[in-house]
Structure 1
Amino acid sequence: MATIKDVAKVSGVTVTTVSRVLNNRGYISEITRKKVYDAMAKLNYQPNELARSLFRKKSNFIGLIIPNVAHPFFAELTSFIEYYAYKQGYKILICNSYQDSVKEREYVEMLKRNQVDGIIMGSHTLETSDYLVPTLPIVAIDRNLSHDIPYVTSDNYNGGVLATNLLIDKGCKKLVHISGPLELNTPANNRYEAFMDVVKNRGVEYVIIQAKLDIFESYEKLAYKLFKEQPDIDGVFASSDMIAASIIHVANEIGREIPRDLKVIGYDDISIAHMIVPPLTTIKQPIEQMAELTVKILIDQIEHVEVKLENILPISLVERKSV
C-alpha cells in the first residue's frame, strides 16, 4: 500500500508539500498540485481521512440521527439536508435510531469518536437529554433537547388552529386528533395544544389518540380500531400525512366516503400527499427550508458564529379534496 512518502518521491516534492496539497494549506502552484495528484493516481494512494481530520481539526462530516429514513417525511428531510450540506462542503453520516434510546446513545458516541464536526438530531427519546452534552455543535429538528441547543421547527400551533377550524367550518361535529407521543417534549405537541384550544372554544366533541412514529401497517391498525370504537367521528386531524393516508385507505376499505362521510387533514405536505385518493388536504411544513436552515445553523456553530436558539418557520394550509 502506497504511503505519503511514496507520493512525495514519485511527484518529486517533499512530504510536507504533499501534506499541504492534501490539506489545502498554504500556497501551492497548480503545476505542483498536478504533480501530486498525478502521483496519487499512479500509486492509487488513498489519504487517511481520520488522520487528516485530526491534523485539520475538522472532518467535514456531519452526523444526522433520525427515527427512520424510510418514513417519507424524514426521507425528504434527509435528502434536502444532504443537498445543502454537500453544497457547503460537508458529507452526511445517517443514523436510524428507531426511537431507541440505546441506539441513540451509541450513535452519538460513535459520531463523536469519528470526529464529526457536528450533529443534526431529528430523533429524541425521553432519555436523550441525559447524554447530549453540547461538547460539539448540535442542532435539533422539531425537538427541544435542552435550553442551550438550537432547534428548527415550523409554526405547529398555527397549523393546528388552521386544520381544526377548517374541519369545523366544513361541518364536522365530532373530531379526532391523532397526535404523536405527547410525553415527549417536542414543538409538534403544539398541534395538540391548538386542537384542544379550538375544539373547547367552539364547543365541538373530540377524541385524542396518540400514535407512535411507525410504519404504514401500524397506522392502518390504529385506523381500524378508531373506526370500530368511534364510528360516529366525521373529522380527523392527523399529525402526519402518513397517518392521514392510512385513515383514508381504511375509510375506503370500510365504505366511508371521503369527504362526504369523513373529512381528513394531514400535516407535512410530503410529496405523496397530492397522489392520495382523494388528494389530501394538509398543513404544509417548509421541509426544504427547514433542512437548509438546519444546515446553516450547524455550520455557523462549527465556525463559531452566534445562532438563534429558537427557529420557527411559517406553515400554510394546502386545501385539496379530503375535506
Structure 2
Amino acid sequence: MQPKLKDVAKLAGVSVATVSRVINDRGYLSSGTKEKVYQAMRQLNYSPNSAARALRGKTFKLIGLIFASVENPLIAEAVQKIENQLFEGGYKAIICNSLDNPAKEQQYLKMLMANQVDGIITGSHNEGLKEYKMSGLPIVSYDRYFPSPIPTVSCDNAAGGKLAANTLMDKGSEKLMLISGSLEKIPRNADRVTGFNQAVEAVGQKSTTVRLRFNDTPGIKRAMIRQQLSAYQPDGVFCTDDQTALLCLQEAKSLGMKVPDDLQVIGFDGSQYVQQYHPELSTIVQPIDDIVDLLVRILFNRLEQNDDQLLDRYVLPVSLLQRGSLRK
C-alpha cells in the first residue's frame, strides 16, 4: 500500500495536522519538527503533492504507463490499446516516454506517485530502480522481467527466434545472419537470440551475429548492416525487431541483392503499421491484442486485491506472417 499522511505522522512522532502544516508551509514550526517530517517522508518515499489529494479525499482513477519509446510502432499500438481499455474501465492514463533514460524514468515514477496513480503498467528497460519497490502500487510489466510480486506479460520470444531460424532453413537459407538489438538494455532480445541460435545449432548449421546498440541512430545501423551484408554475403537474415529488418531490406536492395531470391529476411513484432504499410517484410507477430487484454486484466485484479492466483510470468504464443521477403 502507498504510505499515507498518518504513516508519515507516526514515523515522525507528530500529529497529522503538523505534517499537513509542514507540507503546506502554514504557521510556525521549529526547524527540528520540519526536519523530522521531511526525514519521515523521504524514508517512506511519500510525495508532498499526494497529501493535498489525500486531504481532499478525492480519487481520480489514474494509471501510469511507462514505456521506453512510443516511436516504436508496436509500442505505440500497445499504448493506444491499453489507454482505450483503461478508459472503458473507468480509468485515465498518464503516458510517460522514458527514452531508456534511468534518471528520466525515476522522475516519472516520482511524478506518478505524487499524483497518487492507482497503478502502473511498465514496458521500459531500466532495471533496479528502487521506486518500483517503494511505490506500494499494483504494477504489471510488459516484456520486462521483474522479481516477484510484479507479474510480467510477454510473447514467447525464444520460440519466435526458433521459428525464424527454422523457417529460413526450411526455405533453403544456409548462410545465416542474426542482427540483434541491445541484449543488455532489452532482455527480450536475448531470448530471441537464444531461440534462434538453438534452432541453428540443433541442425549443425552456423550463423554470424551483428550486435547493434540501443541508442544507435538509423544512419549508424544502416552503415553497420551494409558493411556486414557486404562482408558476409548471407542468404538468410533474422532481425530481432521489424525496424531493423526494414533497414536490412533497404540496404540489401542498395547492394543489388534480390529479395527473396538472394536473401531472405524475417523481422519480429508484427505491428499493424508494418502489416499495413510494409507488405514486403515477413515477420514474427506478437499477439498484441491478447497481451494488452491480459496486462489490463491483471492490473484490475491487483487493484481489486484479487491477485492471490497470479503467476510471475505469462507467456503468449507468436506466429509467422509470411510475405515478400520469404520464398514461397
What's the CA shift for 1:242? 1.0
Equivalence for 1:172: 173
Could you tell me whether the CA contact under 8 Å between 1:53 and 1:59 is conserved in 2?
A: no
Which amino acid is 1:107 matched to? Y
The one-character-per-residue Cα deviations of 1:90-114 (angstroms, maximum 9, x if unpaired) are 1111111111111111111111111
Paired with 1:216 and 1:176, the residues of 2 have a C-alpha distance of: 19
The one-character-per-residue Cα deviations of 1:14-38 (angstroms, maximum 9, x if unpaired) are xxxxxxxxxxxxxxxxxxxxxxxxx
Paired with 2:89 and 2:158, the residues of 1 have a C-alpha distance of: 32
Paired with 1:221 and 1:276, the residues of 2 have a C-alpha distance of: 24
Which amino acid is 1:311 matched to? Y
Equivalence for 1:267: 268
> Percent identical across equivalent pairs?
37
Alignment of 1:161-310 (within 5 A): 161-184=162-185, 186-213=187-214, 216-230=218-232, 232-275=233-276, 279-306=280-307, 307-310=310-313
Equivalence for 1:313: 316
Could you tell me whether the CA contact under 8 Å between 1:258 and 1:278 is conserved in 2?
A: no
The normalised TM-score by structure 1 is 0.78
Alignment of 1:1-323 (within 5 A): 55-56=56-57, 58-128=59-129, 130-133=130-133, 135-184=136-185, 186-213=187-214, 216-230=218-232, 232-275=233-276, 279-306=280-307, 307-323=310-326
What's the CA shift for 1:181? 2.0
Paired with 2:55 and 2:240, the residues of 1 have a C-alpha distance of: 43
Paired with 1:164 and 1:71, the residues of 2 have a C-alpha distance of: 24
- The 3-state SS of whatever aligns with 2:238 is strand
Note the aligned Cα RMSD (angstroms).
Answer: 2.3
Where structure 1 has 5 or more consecutive residues not aligned to the other structure, the ranges are: 1-48
Where structure 2 has 5 or more consecutive residues not aligned to the other structure, the ranges are: 1-49
- The 3-state SS of whatever aligns with 1:236 is strand
Paired with 1:103 and 1:131, the residues of 2 have a C-alpha distance of: 12
Paired with 2:302 and 2:57, the residues of 1 have a C-alpha distance of: 17
Would the alpha carbon gap of residues 308 and 221 (structure 1) be closer, same or farther in structure 2, given more than 3 Å must change?
same
Equivalent pairs counted in the alignment come to: 274
What's the CA shift for 1:59? 2.8
Paired with 1:309 and 1:53, the residues of 2 have a C-alpha distance of: 32
What's the CA shift for 1:253? 1.7
What's the CA shift for 1:184? 4.4
Would the alpha carbon gap of residues 234 and 278 (structure 1) be closer, same or farther in structure 2, given more than 3 Å must change?
farther
Question: Which segment drifts farther, 79-88 or 217-226?
Answer: 217-226
What's the CA shift for 1:218? 4.5
Could you tell me whether the CA contact under 8 Å between 2:185 and 2:214 is conserved in 1?
A: no
What's the CA shift for 1:172? 1.1
Paired with 2:89 and 2:279, the residues of 1 have a C-alpha distance of: 40
Paired with 2:161 and 2:188, the residues of 1 have a C-alpha distance of: 12
Would the alpha carbon gap of residues 64 and 292 (structure 1) be closer, same or farther in structure 2, given more than 3 Å must change?
same
Paired with 1:94 and 1:54, the residues of 2 have a C-alpha distance of: 26
- The 3-state SS of whatever aligns with 2:272 is coil
Question: Which segment drifts farther, 198-207 or 182-191?
Answer: 182-191
Which amino acid is 2:298 matched to? I
What's the CA shift for 1:212? 3.5
What's the CA shift for 1:71? 1.4
What's the CA shift for 1:57? 6.5
The one-character-per-residue Cα deviations of 1:258-304 (angstroms, maximum 9, x if unpaired) are 10111000111112333566621111101122112111111211111
- The 3-state SS of whatever aligns with 2:132 is coil
Could you tell me whether the CA contact under 8 Å between 1:144 and 1:185 is conserved in 2?
A: no
